[in-house]
Amino acid sequence: MIDTMRNVVVLGSSGTIGSLIGGLIAQMGIKVYFLSRSLDRAKSGLERAISQARSEVINRNVVCGDYEHLLESVLKEADWVVECVTEDLAIKQKMYEKVDQYKRPDTIVSSTTSSLPLTELSRGRSEEFQRNFLSTHFFNPPGKMLACEIATHPGTDPKVLDRMKDFLERELRRVVIPVNDIAGFAGNRIAFLLFNQITALAEEHGVEMMDYLIGPYTGRLMPPLATLDLVGLDIHKAIMKSLYENTDDEMHASLILSDYINKMTESGCLGNKTPTKGGFYKRLESGESVFYDPATCDYVPAIKPHIAFVEKAKNLIHLGLYRESFEVIREARCKEADIVMDILCTYIAYSYSRIGEVTEQKLGIDGINKVMSFGFNWAAPSLIVGMLGGRKSVIQLLEERELEVSDFLKDGREEVWQIPSAGKYFVAR
Amino acid sequence: MKDKRVYILGGYQTDFARNWSRENKHISAMMREAYLGSFGATEIDPGDIDAAFIGNFAGELYCMQGHLSAFFVDFDRRFVGLPTCRFETACASSAVAALSAMAYIQAGIYNLVCLVGVEQMKTVNAAKGGEFLGTAAWYEREAAGIEFSFPKLFGKLGDEYDRRYGLNDEYLARIAVINYNNARSNPNAQTRNWFMNFEHANTVGKYNTVIGGRIKVTDCSQVTDGAVCLYLASEEFAAKYAEQRHLALGRIPKILGWGHTTAPIEFARKITDSVENEYVLPVTRQAILDAYRRAGLSDCWELDTIETHDCFTTSEYMAIDHFGLTKPGESWKAIEQGVIEMGGKLPINPSGGLIGCGHPVGATGARQLLDAYKQVTGTAGDYQIPGVKKVGTLNIGGTATTNVCFIVGK
């Protein structure tokens, strides 16, 4: 609908998400200022952006600098300021105060937060700032994960939302999902509830067993606890805290963090970012992985689980027989199969129950489908409904487990069978 | 040809960006998905299929699996007993499978043939894959002990153009950029979200290294995994199919012409043989001329678009003059004037071609035919060229050893 951006400022460009978003924008031939606390830090972000583009030529569109020397001057020509600084309300508010002081009246400012309310973030800012302020929540790594949740606050000018949405879709090739300004938006709200449930189950069944049971064959490219190692347990903890404090729903009790996660973060076992200390997984020099044991707070050797129904389901997926693999899961009668079915059913129940709360009601399940597929590489909730035999069958499964059955599931349209193209979400591992 | 028309009823392409080895899937899973997708796209009754022809280059090497045609009968209980066959002519495998399907249909033996092109290549690393691809050349003479033999051989094609007519590599970079740009509109293209611009394609750097001779990374199509399934039908079957769907038969694309030639396998011999010829690869040119003649076309300007075999930028450079867009040796003019771009006088590779869409070797010929079908039926989505009536395709195997050209249209 609109002109493109000519000058973009990335605040917090030394971090992973800031540098990679900045890189995507630079790839479009748009001038991007990579700002950080120091020039060296900004330059390290540029290196990451170059690695993502697999091309050094993008540096022609990038200017690196620090806040002290460059912030004031570049804000005057910025069409869009993308704020990617530390996920801390006070730090962000302080940054916005400076931005408000120097930016052009029509400069769009967006936050990449997914947990801090926009109303709080923009408190005290000018009316112009408020009108041009919204959230653009990218997923990591943005070069591969195309989802972008976009949220506004009551003061956001609808034209700004339209302009941003148009730019994100056309220029940055994002799959844009409008979401409500509520902690975790849609994606993190749903995914992290499940992550947390799986961490709780790991106390009883073990880390390796949980990643084996809820592995890629259940409709995700990565096992869940390996994903948390990638995210970082400090981030997981912060997200759970925010979700617990700022949301209230039928599964609120499932948002409480297990004690052992606190112990892990206190001892510096944060995941992939602390390879020596490890996370849920620790890779030894020999190349073998050992697994965190919540009971002893130590690492234990692999047990290499082998459960008949899991192996059978994987073999069917190996041959492209997706529906048949889920029949095996559904028909299996053992405690491990119950765990898998409980998680799949919770995923469906919780996703459908969030329609209207995290996304607009008129979107139905489509918005949540998109964010789970393009933001997490998980099979969409409606796809899992199809895999488990359709709505009628799934409602029965949910009722058996005393899970909430949303009206959107009861009365919604029967989902179109998305196989074969959705086969990519079911990995034979 | 006029009396025995062969129609294309549509089909399905897998997403060429996927890595089926990472998904830990068997090559037959890819074939199954292509078949199931084609079933959804065309709503053909599986019971109507008379035979299944499979195009595949090197399943034995990449997947330790030959005899791929037999897997087809696993896809539907009714298929047990069905005649099936696998065809191999390197990168032209599925085009030759299509030619064979045509022959059976024109002979009146079959009414409906299901054609599957498939290749799974990401099972091995780039060096090993390069070695396997070397078997599409004369392995002993041209590939044994040579790392990335094919880029080097197609680099020599550029060298020969340079020697005879002069070649500025900037035009090769522009070919790469056009294909990547087109691929951005194709939801099944391997590179649809990759970064590319002229500066990158025209610059040697850490990420755009020289692979062999004048060929850089950006001059190459990328290996990938992919399968395509489509249907070829007799006029009798197509008429019934059209009637059931309340379509005029004239709206269903058909193969208007074809050409199929084979040059000596050794690249150096091709060049020696053509030294007196104004075309660098006259045997490839002949396949195109044969297709024009059979389709009753006087020249390329009766086509609305071309899907050509740009395994390297040099092969598209060759295709431009061999299709007749320019005089021999003047392909650069068509690039310079924007003729081959979307919106140009004769766009080449709206799909992104092999460079942009991806090149799962045995699937490419079928993919080109499916894209031709989409263009003619106006179903190519964001990469649709308005008002397409006729499409030319060129699928080559080896170093333009096997050459297959189709003209598809209404």
Q: Along the 410 residues of chain B, how does pLDDT read in single tens digits?
A: 446 999 999 999 999 999 999 999 999 999 999 999 999 899 999 999 999 999 999 999 999 999 999 999 999 999 999 999 999 999 999 999 999 999 999 999 999 999 999 999 999 999 999 999 999 999 999 999 999 999 999 999 999 999 999 999 999 999 999 999 999 999 999 999 999 999 999 999 999 999 989 999 999 998 999 999 999 999 999 999 999 999 999 999 999 999 999 999 999 999 999 999 999 999 999 999 999 999 999 999 999 999 999 999 999 999 999 999 999 999 999 999 999 999 999 999 999 999 999 999 999 999 999 999 999 999 999 999 999 999 999 999 999 999 999 999 99
pLDDT at residue number B201: 98
Look at B200 and A57 and tell me if their CB atoms are within 8 Å: yes
Of A56, A144, A424, the CB nearest to B23: A424
Kindly report the nearest CA distance between residue A424 and chain B, in angstroms: 7
- Tell me, yes or no, whether A19 lies in a domain: yes
Contacts of B22 in chain A (CB under 8 A): 427
- Tell me, yes or no, whether A1 lies in a domain: no
> Chain B within 8 Å of A29 (Cβ-Cβ)?
yes
> Chain B within 8 Å of A311 (Cβ-Cβ)?
no
Q: Assess whether A155 and A238 both reside in one domain.
A: no
Interface of A with B in 47-86 (CB under 8 A): 53-58, 60
Average pLDDT in chain A: 95
> Chain A within 8 Å of B199 (Cβ-Cβ)?
yes
- The β-bridge relationship of strands B390-397 and B51-55 is unpaired
Kindly report the nearest CA distance between residue B355 and chain A, in angstroms: 16
Residue of B353, B156, B137 whose CA lies nearest to B265: B137
Q: Which residues contact A417 (CB under 8 A, 6 or more apart)?
A: A386
pLDDT at residue number A1: 40
* Statement: residue A219 has pLDDT above 50: yes
Q: Assess whether A211 and A352 both reside in one domain.
A: yes
Domains of chain A: total? 2
Q: Assess whether A217 and A326 both reside in one domain.
A: yes
- Tell me, yes or no, whether A89 lies in a domain: yes
Of A27, A53, A420, the CB nearest to B36: A420
Query: For residue A173, what is the nearest residue in chain B, using CA coordinates?
Result: B193
Look at A424 and B18 and tell me if their CB atoms are within 8 Å: yes
DSSP single-letter state for residue A416? P
Q: Assess whether A238 and A136 both reside in one domain.
A: no
Q: Can you tell me the distance from the alpha carbon of B353 to that of B364, in angstroms, rounded to the nearest whole number? A: 9
Three-state SS for A126? Answer: coil
Kindly report the nearest CA distance between residue B96 and chain A, in angstroms: 27
Q: Assess whether A217 and A73 both reside in one domain.
A: no
Residue B34 tokens, joined: 């292509």
Domain with residue A367: its CATH number is 1.10.1040.50
Domain with residue A72: its CATH number is 3.40.50.720
Q: Can you tell me the distance from the alpha carbon of B103 to that of A346, in angstroms, rounded to the nearest whole number? A: 55
Q: Assess whether A239 and A173 both reside in one domain.
A: no
Residue A341: pLDDT band with limits 50, 70, 90: very high
Look at A318 and B197 and tell me if their CB atoms are within 8 Å: no
Kindly give the residue spans of alpha helices, DSSP state H, lying in A142-298: 158-170, 187-205, 207-213, 224-231, 233-246, 259-266
> Chain B within 8 Å of A356 (Cβ-Cβ)?
no
Of B37, B184, B206, the CB nearest to A420: B37
Look at B23 and A320 and tell me if their CB atoms are within 8 Å: no
> Chain A within 8 Å of B193 (Cβ-Cβ)?
yes
Look at A320 and B30 and tell me if their CB atoms are within 8 Å: yes
pTM of the model: 0.96
Specify the higher pLDDT residue, B165 or A416: B165
Q: Assess whether A69 and A141 both reside in one domain.
A: yes
> Which among A145, A178, A211 is the end of a domain?
A178
> Which among A178, A199, A233 is the end of a domain?
A178
> Which among A159, A178, A197 is the end of a domain?
A178
> Chain A within 8 Å of B32 (Cβ-Cβ)?
yes
* Statement: residue A24 has pLDDT above 80: yes
Look at B207 and A429 and tell me if their CB atoms are within 8 Å: no
Q: Cβ atoms within 10 A of the Cβ of A293, count?
A: 16
pLDDT at residue number A416: 57
> Chain B within 8 Å of A300 (Cβ-Cβ)?
no
pLDDT at residue number A277: 96
* Statement: residue A30 has pLDDT above 50: yes
Look at B195 and A55 and tell me if their CB atoms are within 8 Å: yes
Kindly report the nearest CA distance between residue A145 and chain B, in angstroms: 10
Residue ranges making up the domain that contains A39: 7-178
Over residues A283-292, the mean pLDDT reads 94
pLDDT at residue number A115: 85
Residue A114: pLDDT band with limits 50, 70, 90: confident
The percent helix, strand, coil of chain B (3-state, each to 5) is 45, 20, 40
Q: Assess whether A370 and A415 both reside in one domain.
A: yes
> Chain A within 8 Å of B298 (Cβ-Cβ)?
no
Rounded alpha-carbon distances, angstroms, from residue A241 to A379, A401, B365: 26, 27, 55
Query: For residue A427, what is the nearest residue in chain B, using CA coordinates?
Result: B23
Look at B37 and A421 and tell me if their CB atoms are within 8 Å: yes
Predicted interface score ipTM higher than 0.90: yes
- Tell me, yes or no, whether A154 lies in a domain: yes
- Tell me, yes or no, whether A345 lies in a domain: yes
Q: Cβ atoms within 10 A of the Cβ of A357, count?
A: 15
* Statement: residue A365 has pLDDT above 60: yes
Residue A4: pLDDT band with limits 50, 70, 90: confident
Look at A60 and B199 and tell me if their CB atoms are within 8 Å: yes
Look at B24 and A428 and tell me if their CB atoms are within 8 Å: yes
DSSP single-letter state for residue B399? T
* C-alpha neighbours within 13 Å on the C-beta side of residue A45: 34
Q: Can you tell me the distance from the alpha carbon of B274 to that of B157, in angstroms, rounded to the nearest whole number? A: 12
Look at B199 and A57 and tell me if their CB atoms are within 8 Å: yes
Q: Can you tell me the distance from the alpha carbon of B373 to that of B12, in angstroms, rounded to the nearest whole number? A: 11
Kindly report, residue by residue over A81-93, the tens digit of the pLDDT. 999 999 899 999 9
Q: Assess whether A167 and A248 both reside in one domain.
A: no
Helix (H) / strand (E) element for B9: namely: strand B6-13
What is the domain class of B6-124+223-244 according to CATH? alpha beta
Q: Which residues contact B11 (CB under 8 A, 6 or more apart)?
A: B34, B37, B38, B41, B42, B115, B228, B229, B230, B231, B366, B370, B373
> Chain B within 8 Å of A214 (Cβ-Cβ)?
no
